[in-house]
Structure 1
Amino acid sequence: MQKRWALKQNPDINEVKRISAELGIDEVLAAMLLQRGIQTFEEARFFFRPDMRHLHDPFLMQGMEQAIERIEKAIQTGENILIYGDYDVDGTTAVTVVYSFFRKRYSRIEYYIPDRYLEGYGISTQGIDYAAQNNFTLIIALDCGIKAVDKVAYANELGVDFIICDHHTPGNELPEAVAVLDPKRNDCDYPYKELSGCGIGFKLIQAYAQKNDISFDEVANYLDLVATSIACDIVHVTGENRTLASFGLQKINSNPGTGIKVLMDIAGKTSNYSISDVVFMIGPRINAAGRIDNARHSVELLLSEDMEAAKAKGMLISEKNLERKGHDLAITDEALSMIAADAVMTGRKSTVVFNERWHKGVIGIVASRLTEKYYRPTIVLTHSNGHVAGSARSVVGFDLYEALCGCSDLLLQFGGHKYAAGLTMKPEQVEAFTARFEEVVAATITEQQLIQEIQIDAELKLEKITSKFFRVLTQFGPFGPENVCPVFISRNVSVYGNVSLVGSNHIKMCVHQSGSPLFDCIAFNQGECIEEIRKGKPFDICYTIEENIWREKRSIQLNIKGIRC
Structure 2
Amino acid sequence: MQWTLAATEQPPEWFIQAVKNYTPASSGLYAAQLLWQRGIQDKSQLEGFVNYKTYQPASPFEFGEEMHLAVARLQQARNAGEKIAIWGDFDADGITSTSVLWDGLGQFFVQNIQLSYYIPNRLKESHGLNDSGIDNLAKQGITLIVTCDTGSTNIDEIIYAQKLGIDVIVTDHHTLPAERPPVSAIINPRNLPNEHPLFNLSGVAVAYKLVEALYQTLPDIPKHPLEDLLDLVAVGLIADLVQLSGDCRYLAQLGIQRLQEDFKQPPTARRRPGVGRLLELCQKSGDRPTDISFGLGPRINAVSRIQGDASFCVELLTSRDVKRCNELAEDTELANARRKSLQKDVQTQVAHKLTQLDLSTTSAIVIADAQWPVGVLGLVAGQVAQETGRPTILLSTEVAEEQGSSTSTALSAQGAVGEGEDEEMGKKTPHTPHTPSSPLARGSARSVNSVDLYQLVKDQAHLLHRFGGHPFAAGLSMLVENIPLFTEAINQRLRQSLGGKMLTPTVQADIAVTVADLGKDLFLELKVLEPCGMGNPVPKLLIQNCWFENAWHRNQQDSQGKKVQYIKTDFDIRDDSSRNAFPGIWWGHYKDELPIGRCDCIAELDYNTFKKRYEIRLIAVRPSANSLLTTQHSELIFDWRNQEHSELKTQNSTLIIEECPNSWDDLRAWWKRCVYNHQQLAIAWTKPHQQPPNQIWLTLVGIAKYLSRTNQLVTRVQLLDKLGIGDQTLLMGIRALKYLGFTLQRQDNYLRISQEPENASQTQADAAVAKFLAAVREEQFQREYFAEVPLSTIVAMVNSQ
Range into which the TM-score falls when normalised by the shorter chain: 0.7 to 0.9
Structure-2 residue corresponding to 1:58: 60
Residues 322, 464 of structure 1: CA spacing in aligned structure 2 closer, same or farther, 3 A cutoff? Answer: closer
Aligned to 2:16: 20
3-state secondary structure, aligned to 2:189? coil
Partners of 1:449 and 1:299 in 2: CA distance: 45
Q: Distance in 1 between matches of 2:342 and 2:611?
A: 35
CA–CA distance in structure 1, aligned partners of residues 81 and 92 of structure 2: 31
Q: Following TM superposition, by how much is the alpha carbon of 1:330 offset from its aligned partner in structure 2, in angstroms?
A: 3.5
For 1:532, which of 592, 597, 601 is the aligned residue?
597
Partner of residue 333, structure 2: 318
User: Aligned residue for 2:584?
Assistant: 522
CA distance in 2, matches of 1:551, 1:486: 22
- Structure 1 residues 283 and 545: alpha-carbon distance in aligned structure 2, compared to 1, 3 A threshold: closer
- Within 5 Å, which residues of 2 pair with 1:492-507? 493=545, 499-503=549-553, 506=569
For 2:615 and 2:480, locate their aligned partners in 1 and report how far apart those are by CA, in whole Å. Answer: 53
Decide whether aligned partners of structure 1 residues 413 and 166 sit closer, same or farther in structure 2, where only a CA change above 3 A counts. farther
> Is 1:331 aligned to residue 346 of structure 2?
yes
The aligned runs of 1:34-433 (5 Å cut-off) are 34-51=36-53, 53-62=55-64, 63-107=66-110, 108-185=114-191, 190-213=196-219, 218-256=225-263, 257-267=272-282, 269-271=283-285, 273-291=287-305, 292-341=307-356, 343=357, 347-382=361-396, 383=399, 384-385=401-402, 387-427=440-480, 429-433=482-486
Whole-Å separation in 1 of the counterparts to 2:119 and 2:102: 12
Supply the distance in 2 between the matched residues of 1:556 and 1:289 (Cα, whole angstroms).
29
Q: CA deviation at 1:21?
A: 3.5
Between 502-511 and 153-162, the greater mean CA deviation after superposition: 502-511
Counterpart position of 1:7: 5
Cα distance in 2, alignment partners of residues 345 and 239 from structure 1: 41
Aligned partner letter, 2:574: V
Q: What residue number does 1:536 align with?
A: none
Relative to structure 1, the CA distance from residue 327 to residue 520 in structure 2 (aligned partners, 3 Å threshold; closer, same or farther) is closer
SS of the aligned residue for 2:596 comes to: helix
Larger relative contact order (Cα-Cα within 8 Å, sequence gap ≥ 6): 1
> Mapping of 1:399-478 within 5 angstroms?
399-427=452-480, 429-444=482-497, 450-460=503-513, 468-478=521-531
- Cα separation, 1, equivalents of 2:486 and 2:551: 44
Q: Deviations over 1:263-298 (max 9, x none)?
A: 12333x141553233233222332233221411121
Letter in 1 for 2:552: V
Q: Is the 8 A contact 1:519 1:558 kept in 2?
A: no
Deviation at 1:397, TM superposition (A): 2.8
SS of the residue corresponding to residue 71 of structure 2 reads helix
Instruction: Tell me the CA shift for residue 183 of structure 1.
Output: 1.3
Q: What residue in structure 2 maps to residue 545 of structure 1?
A: 605
- The Cα shift of 1:113 comes to 1.1
1:434 alignment partner AA: T
**Distance (Å, rounded) in 2 between the aligned partners of 1:559 and 1:87:** 30
The Cα of 1:98 is off from its aligned counterpart by 0.2
Aligned sequence identity (%)? 28
CA contact (8 A) 2:542 2:600 kept: yes
Q: Which runs of 5+ in 2 are unaligned?
A: 21-26, 264-271, 403-435, 555-567, 628-801
Alpha-carbon distance change, 174 to 398 in structure 1, aligned in 2, over 3 angstroms: farther
**Paired residue type of 1:318:** E
AA of the residue aligned to 2:385: T
The question of whether the paired residues in 2 share the 8 Å contact of 1:183 and 1:189 is answered with no
**Cα displacement (A) at 1:503:** 1.6
Shift of 1:336: 3.4
Distance 1:59 1:128, change over 3 A: same
Deviates more, 1:397-406 or 1:145-154: 397-406
* Residue 201 of structure 1, CA deviation: 0.9
- Consecutive unaligned residues of structure 1, counting only runs of 5 or more, are 534-538
Residue 520 of structure 1 aligns with an amino acid whose one-letter code is F
Aligned CA distance change for structure 1 residues 507 and 305 (closer, same or farther; 3 Å): closer
Deviation track 1:349-403 (CA, whole Å, cap 9, x = no partner) reads 2122233453332322332343344342122223242644322222253332232
SS of 1:450 mapped into structure 2: coil
Q: Report the alpha carbon displacement of residue 37 of structure 1 after superposing the two structures with TM.
A: 1.2
Secondary structure of 1:379's aligned partner: strand
Which deviates further from its counterpart, 19-28 or 464-473? 464-473
Deviation at 1:474, TM superposition (A): 1.2
Distance 1:463 1:334, change over 3 A: closer
Distance 1:324 1:81 in 2: 34
Deviations 1:443-464 (A, max 9, x none): 3458999333222223446666
Distance in 1 separating the partners of 2:499 and 2:594: 29
Query: Displacement of 1:417 after TM fit?
Result: 3.5
The 10-residue stretch of structure 1 (422-431 or 390-399) with the greater mean CA deviation from structure 2: 422-431
How far 1:308 sits from its partner (Å)?
0.6
**Cα pair 1:149 1:174 within 8 Å, conserved:** no
Structure 1 residues 451 and 104, CA, compared in 2 at 3 Å: closer, same or farther?
Answer: same
Does the CA contact (< 8 Å) of 1:509 and 1:522 recur in 2? yes
Tell me how far 1:220 sits from its aligned partner: 1.8
Which residue matches 2:407? none
After TM superposition, the score normalised by the length of structure 1 is 0.86
- How far off its partner does 1:94 sit? 0.8
8 Å CA contact retained: 1:508, 1:521: yes
Measured after TM superposition, the shift of residue 130 of structure 1 is 1.7
1:562 aligns to what? Answer: 621
Shift of 1:412: 4.3
Distance 1:437 1:41, change over 3 A: same
Q: Identify which range, 301-310 or 271-280, moves more after superposition.
A: 271-280
- Aligned CA RMSD, in angstroms, stands at 3.2
Look up the equivalent residue of 1:18 and give its one-letter code: W
Q: How far is 1:190 from its partner? A: 4.5
Where 2:597 maps in the other structure, the secondary structure is helix
The more displaced of 458-467 and 195-204 is 458-467
> Given the alignment of the two structures, is residue 511 of structure 1 paired with residue 574 of structure 2, yes or no?
yes
Question: CA offsets, 1:320-370, max 9 Å, x none?
Answer: 3344444434333333333433x3678422122233453332322332343
Structure 1 or 2, whichever has the larger Rg, is 2
Whether the 8 Å contact between 1:168 and 1:416 is mirrored in structure 2 is no
Counterpart AA for 1:488 = L
Structure 1 stretch 469-478 or stretch 457-466: which is displaced more? 457-466
Shift of 1:549: 6.3
Q: Distance in 2 between matches of 1:212 and 1:510?
A: 58
Aligned length: 549
Aligned twin of 2:795:
none
Instruction: Find the residue that maps to 1:141 and give its secondary structure.
Output: strand
Matched to 1:501, the amino acid is A
- Contact 1:234/1:481 (<8 A) preserved: yes
